[in-house]
């Protein structure tokens, strides 16, 4: 019986995810913090965790008991075991690349990324891609959500969408409450682009659920149709991200975002051209690129006010 219990709690994160919707409001606050910050929560006592989420120590203990643990120490041990397995990704890297030369590692990693782009290209749903372009173009306001390791992808997409169309927001937050505050005006005329890959961000999922409840159109950029991101999305764009490495490979998702940006530009070329001209004028008028920066012309660095030989000496 004890062995069955241990097996049940091997993936404690999956256990929390499976029970999340049935948790009380205070227990959801604890669960959300653990799911998004397991690397910090694993070292916290019940009192420390409670203080972090502004909940009593006794509530944290009841949270652990509600998941089936005899107490918080047993829960913390299960979380510790899960984190050890997660961090063992470093050991997996050693098994794959331990005897490789630096050159072989370079070739192996780049070829692995090439394979992921090729697999994404082969399996991408073209109709979903076209629908995503329509949704982004026709929305009144576009909200982009990508947290933790996906934040650079969200920033990249937000940067270029702001050049293409107005009313684009990259939602950034360290708490669920702040996410909702930034999306409080969202409705059926708006769209959300949610970006998340394993391990999926609970904050991103809840933000997408919130948008879905408000009837907004949702584009999910994730790893597969089995992703929990697809529960709330109108359109799913799937790109491979798995890799035996210390970090996730996000080359294929980034390539898919590049394709989205290009497709959007080609749909409204006059508008994009006009926006870029206005940006160029602003950069010039307000000296965004200052005069002391190098300007490479004809392969020669040129300074607006070059030093004379006397000043140099």
Asked whether residue 32 is domain-assigned, the answer is: yes
What's the pTM?
A: 0.63
| Dihedral (CA of 10, 15, 16, 17) sign | positive
Among residues 92, 58, 59, 64, which one has the least CA distance to residue 79? 64
Encode the chain (313 residues) as per-residue pLDDT tens digits: 344 344 344 578 878 888 888 899 999 999 988 887 887 888 888 999 999 899 999 999 999 999 989 889 899 888 888 776 665 555 555 545 555 666 766 777 788 788 888 888 888 999 999 999 999 999 999 999 998 888 999 999 999 998 888 999 999 876 667 888 899 999 999 999 999 987 788 888 889 999 999 999 999 999 888 788 888 898 999 998 764 455 567 889 999 999 999 999 888 888 888 877 777 777 676 665 655 554 444 444 444 444 444 443 4
Question: How many domains does the chain contain in total?
Answer: 2
Among 58, 87, 116, the domain-final residue is 87
Residue 297: alpha-carbon gap to chain centroid: 38
CATH number, position 31: 1.10.10.10
Q: How many CB atoms lie within 10 A of CB 129?
A: 16
Phi, psi of 237 (to 5 degrees): -115, 115
Q: Which domain holds residue 168?
A: 101-271
Asked whether residue 313 is domain-assigned, the answer is: no
Report the pLDDT value the prediction gives residue 173, as an integer from 0 to 100: 76
Q: Are residues 261 and 117 in the same domain?
A: yes
In sequence order, what are the residues at sequence separation of 6 or more whose Cβ sits closer than 8 angstroms to the Cβ of residue 301? 294, 295
Q: Are residues 212 and 251 in the same domain?
A: yes
Residue pair 223/239 in contact by the 8 Å Cβ criterion:
yes
Say whether 233 sits in a helix, a strand or coil. Answer: coil
Report the pLDDT value the prediction gives residue 168, as an integer from 0 to 100: 94
In sequence order, what are the residues at sequence separation of 6 or more whose Cβ sits closer than 8 angstroms to the Cβ of residue 180? 207, 210
């Amino acid at each position: 019986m004890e062995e069955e219990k241990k097996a049940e709690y091997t993936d404690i994160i999956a256990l929390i995810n499976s029970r999340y919707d049935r948790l009380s409001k205070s227990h959801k606050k604890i669960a959300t913090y653990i799911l998004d910050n397991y690397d910090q929560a694993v070292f916290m006592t019940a009192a420390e965790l409670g203080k972090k989420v502004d909940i009593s120590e006794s509530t944290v203990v009841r949270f652990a008991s509600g998941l089936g643990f005899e107490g918080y120490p047993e829960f913390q041990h299960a979380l510790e075991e899960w984190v050890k397995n997660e961090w063992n990704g470093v050991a997996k890297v050693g098994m794959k690349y331990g005897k490789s030369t630096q050159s072989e590692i370079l070739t192996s990693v780049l070829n692995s990324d090439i394979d992921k782009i090729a697999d994404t290209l082969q399996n991408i749903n073209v109709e979903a891609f076209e629908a995503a372009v329509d949704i982004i173009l026709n929305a009144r306001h576009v909200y982009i959500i990508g947290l933790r390791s996906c934040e650079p992808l969200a920033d990249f997409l937000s940067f270029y969408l702001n050049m293409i169309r107005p009313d684009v927001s990259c939602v950034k937050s360290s708490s669920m409450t702040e996410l909702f505050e930034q999306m409080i005006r969202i409705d059926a005329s708006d769209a959300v682009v949610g970006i998340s890959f394993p391990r999926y961000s609970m904050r991103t999922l809840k933000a997408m659920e919130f948008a879905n409840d408000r009837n907004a159109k949702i584009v999910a950029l994730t790893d597969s149709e089995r992703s929990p991101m697809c529960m709330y999305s109108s359109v799913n764009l799937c790109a491979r991200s798995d890799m035996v490495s210390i970090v996730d490979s996000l080359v294929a998702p980034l390539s898919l975002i590049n394709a989205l940006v290009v497709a959007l530009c080609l749909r409204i070329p006059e508008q994009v051209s006009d926006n870029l001209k206005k940006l160029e004028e602003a950069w010039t008028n307000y000296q965004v690129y200052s005069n002391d920066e190098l300007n490479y012309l004809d392969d020669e660095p040129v300074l607006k006010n070059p030093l004379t030989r006397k000043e140099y000496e």
